[in-house]
Structure 1
Amino acid sequence: MQLTGAQILMECLLEQGVDTVFGYPGGAVLNIYDALYEYRDKICHIRTAHEQGAAHAADGYARSTGKTGVCIATSGPGATNLVTGIATAYMDSIPMVAITGNVSCALLGLDSFQEVDITGITMPVTKHNFLVKHIEDLADTIRKAFLIAGTGRKGPVLVDIPKDVTAQKYEYIPHAPLPAPKGDFPYDERFEQALTMLKKSERPFIYSGGGVIASEASGELKKFADLLDAPVASSLMCQGGFDQTDPRYIGMLGMHGTNTSALAIKNCDLLIAIGTRFSDRVLCNADLFAQHCPIIQIDIDTAEFNKNIEVDLKMKGDAKEILARLNQLLPQCQHKGWLEQIAEWKDLYPLEQMAESEGEVLPQEVIETLDRLTDSKAIIVTEVGQHQMWAAQFYRFRTPRHFISSGGLGTMGYGLGAAIGAQVANPDQRVINLAGDGSFHMNCNELATLAQYNIPVIELVFNNRVLGMVRQWQKLFYQNRFSQTTLDSATNFEMLAQAFGIKAFAISRREEIEPVLKEALAYQGPSLINCHISPDINVLPMVPAGSSVEEPILEM
């Protein structure tokens, strides 16, 4: 049947199971938005306040569901406003298809109004991108985009479509989603090597990364940890990939990881790294990281082997499949003494914030109360900063896809858009975005989106009137020269929320924590909690740049 390019795009989105897109209209995508009007009963469109919010919403949708998120923007500034969100998804391997409009083909390359080379701009931060100049290529390009975004090491793909291509007509032939290509799998010899190393180990240590969640390997990881009888630490991106109430769990590893994890990496005799790229925030100093023990690395991407650190055994492939095979081969191991030592360290070095004055609001108590009131089942989204680390430290994530945060790029302003995407994708879940006042000022415009669509996200702002994480570094390494990190903003957050049509709450004293959280959780619409905390509460433990991850600072 003959359809316009815009209608073909809609049909291809439906082929891929897309039910929601996030975006902002403009001249170059008028035909696409006209088709969205026609298909409004089949595809829900959420118009965010800014294109960057749309990209983050598509990202949050993807992280919370495992499906590929979709965002749409017009040409020029609309397209460039997506770039930070695309880069955020790229750094964390999140499947996303970003669709941009462009000027008509005859105007490309002429510096036309609202024209940019968005495929050139996004080449470093996409798995692949396409410029569709011919309508006969459109349907197959959209199908390829989803296949690339959602298979292998997942990531964002951009499809740029000139306006005239969306207006032209062409024969549309329905097509089922393309089958995923078969991925690599280690040779039997690699499994034999792994088994020899695992059986020989007396103090094994499992470190799990975001690839565990991406490959849906949480069940296999749990079985592997039980068979190996080993403790498990996680990266920031693997929060919830292993049940944090499990006695084997010892917290994050890295710059703001637990001291138990630091001692475990210092004393283990084998490190098994699963679905992690060994980022600098984990290694801290690659020359000092796990030099005393062999390392097995399981990862889907060849580029991650020996990139940041040398490993002894590389096992390339999907983490779920490799762990399933190891679980078939590995006999039950016993490391009672090692686990008793781990338990002793956990008791000796708990994560604990100390109040300096009576009634002081501590982020730890706020987050732990939130955890208790939500039975550890809420979807917790974060901005980037101290509150991000506190969320990872003090909320007990028990299942995958309940912690949503920008890890690799560290994007301030990410959380509220991502929370919108997560809440739209999971209407029956409670979604809370934890923010700092610095991040909140970057994206408070998206409160308008919450109000317009009555999206019941709770925006919990830890308001310390400073850029807390940067200030913490200035305190430690710049002799308290707090250059441009003291905000002391005159913004009244409660009144601002009310101006957008959002219900507002405030927490100023310790005794207000539980009743305010209970009221906000009971409220059926979007809300904001302005939670006042001291600017001098720090994220600890902390490993200074260039130091060994095995020697964190425990107090300051």
Structure 2
Amino acid sequence: MKLTGGQIVAKALKANGVDYVAGMPGDGSWALVEALLKTGSDIPFIQVIQEQSAVHLADGYFRACGRPMAVLLPAPLGLSKALGGIAVALADASAMLVISGGIPDHDDDWPEFTATGITKEHARVSSIEQLPQTLRQAFDTMFSGHIGPVSLDIPAAVQRASVDASLSPATLRANGAGDIPSLMVSRPVAQLRSVLEGDAILVVGTQTLQDIVGEMFPDFQHQGHFCTAGAGTVGWAVPAAIGAKLAMPARQVVCAVSDGDFLQSMQEMAVCVMHSLPVVFLVFNNSGSESLSDVQVSLAGQPRAGEFNLPDGKPYSPDFAAIARNFGLEAWRVEHASQLNPAFIKALNSKGPSLVEIITARGSRVN
């Protein structure tokens, strides 16, 4: 069967979990817009009034649900009014695919825009044959290391061209596509504050997590409700939270701890079960010792010290929610933002000890 370049883009977006495209059509992008609107693409096109709004819309969408959108610009990236919004998305680790179509009369000689400092990667597609591989690479780059926007210049001539192709979703899907990207630590911490009682005691683990919680709870510590180990002692938080609950049985006690820290003393959950102590354990799971891996730079794509990996380099992590249930706790596993509030409320209302495991992004402190 014959596919146009625009149809290949639409198929790749669908294969990589993109549910919406926002933007403004221009002279260089009509073929792509037509492909998106074609029956069978099933990707709504949301037209905005000002092009920077499309970037902000995609940014907000990703922060809310952890899935990327595509953004269609009416002019080449180097001439776009949306550069500031794209830079914000890069700084705040927000993923999106930014597509520009160029100017039809300049498809062959329009100078490429070097997007250094604006997107993680910028590529110009010069032929329709390059499209599948370039699109796969774009999504791989988007979610590798520091999450951020990637931009593609797909000239109108490439969008209109056609090629004999039968592309299955698997041939267009990037490695790991379809997985919901992990949350940044700040999002669940902010959500937690909204459901805690005013006199709750929040016990926080190692220093990296303490810094984040301190930013999100600027007045909590001054009210005497925020307990940390000054030296950031690994393994301190779990038993310390149990002690805090024994001291203040009428107050909510939440233990916020990274997975590497939790592994040092998680066996003490048994104490909560044996003595019916309703402590809430909040475990941030980023497949590694957060205090170590988040402050290191990956060299030549090699795993950083402190990361938990399998021999093939894929992240490794125990199922902490399942472990907690086997100890006798109620437990929930949170993988995207919409699950946060319900899980927190259930845990805080539990009559016994409970645990909420939150899958968070590696490098989330840096991001």
Structure 1 residue 62 displacement after superposition: 1.6
Q: How many angstroms apart in 1 are the aligned matches of 2:149 and 2:4?
A: 25
1:240 aligns to 2:186 (yes or no): no
Structure 2 residues not aligned, in runs of 5+: 205-211, 235-256, 260-288, 325-340, 343-355, 360-364
In structure 2, the residue corresponding to 1:26 is in which secondary structure? coil
Structure 1 residue 299 displacement after superposition: 3.9
| Identity score, percent | 24
In structure 1, the residue corresponding to 2:22 is in which secondary structure? strand
Structure 1 residue 22 displacement after superposition: 0.7
Among 170, 175, 181, the alignment partner of 1:179 is 175
Pairing of 1:257-268 with structure 2 (within 5 A): 257-258=218-219, 260=221, 268=230
1:296–1:179 CA distance, 2 compared to 1 (3 A):
closer
1:102–1:316 CA distance, 2 compared to 1 (3 A):
same
CA contact (8 A) 1:243 1:249 kept: no
1:215 aligns to 2:208 (yes or no): no
Match of residue 381 from structure 1: none
Match of residue 166 from structure 1: 159
Pairing of 1:390-429 with structure 2 (within 5 A): none
Structure 1 residue 72 displacement after superposition: 0.9
CA contact (8 A) 2:90 2:119 kept: yes
Which letter maps to 2:202?
A: R
Match of residue 97 from structure 1: 97
In structure 1, the residue corresponding to 2:9 is in which secondary structure? helix
Q: How many angstroms apart in 2 are the aligned matches of 1:179 and 1:134?
A: 23
TM-score, normalisation: structure 1:
0.39
1:107–1:214 CA distance, 2 compared to 1 (3 A):
closer
1:46–1:165 CA distance, 2 compared to 1 (3 A):
same
1:12 aligns to 2:12 (yes or no): yes
1:42–1:299 CA distance, 2 compared to 1 (3 A):
same
Structure 1 residue 46 displacement after superposition: 0.8
CA contact (8 A) 1:301 1:317 kept: no
Q: How many angstroms apart in 2 are the aligned matches of 1:328 and 1:235?
A: 24
Cα deviations by residue, 1:131-185 (Å, 9 ceiling, x for unpaired): 101110012211221222134432211111111111111133324123349xxxx
In structure 1, the residue corresponding to 2:191 is in which secondary structure? coil
CA contact (8 A) 2:94 2:147 kept: yes
Structure 1 residues not aligned, in runs of 5+: 111-115, 182-212, 218-233, 276-294, 306-312, 331-375, 378-397, 402-406, 410-556
Which letter maps to 1:178?
A: A
Q: How many angstroms apart in 2 are the aligned matches of 1:64 and 1:235?
A: 12
1:238–1:86 CA distance, 2 compared to 1 (3 A):
farther
Q: How many angstroms apart in 2 are the aligned matches of 1:270 and 1:408?
A: 18
Match of residue 214 from structure 2: 253
In structure 2, the residue corresponding to 1:28 is in which secondary structure? coil
In structure 2, the residue corresponding to 1:123 is in which secondary structure? coil
Pairing of 1:14-413 with structure 2 (within 5 A): 14-39=14-39, 42-76=42-76, 80-104=80-104, 107-109=107-109, 117-118=112-113, 120=114, 122-175=115-168, 176=170, 177-180=173-176, 215=182, 235=186, 238-240=189-191, 245=196, 247-248=201-202, 252-254=213-215, 257-258=218-219, 260=221, 268-270=230-232, 297-299=291-293, 302-303=296-297, 315-316=306-307, 324=318
Give the root-mean-square deviation of aligned CA atoms.
4.6
CA contact (8 A) 1:300 1:317 kept: no
1:77–1:215 CA distance, 2 compared to 1 (3 A):
closer
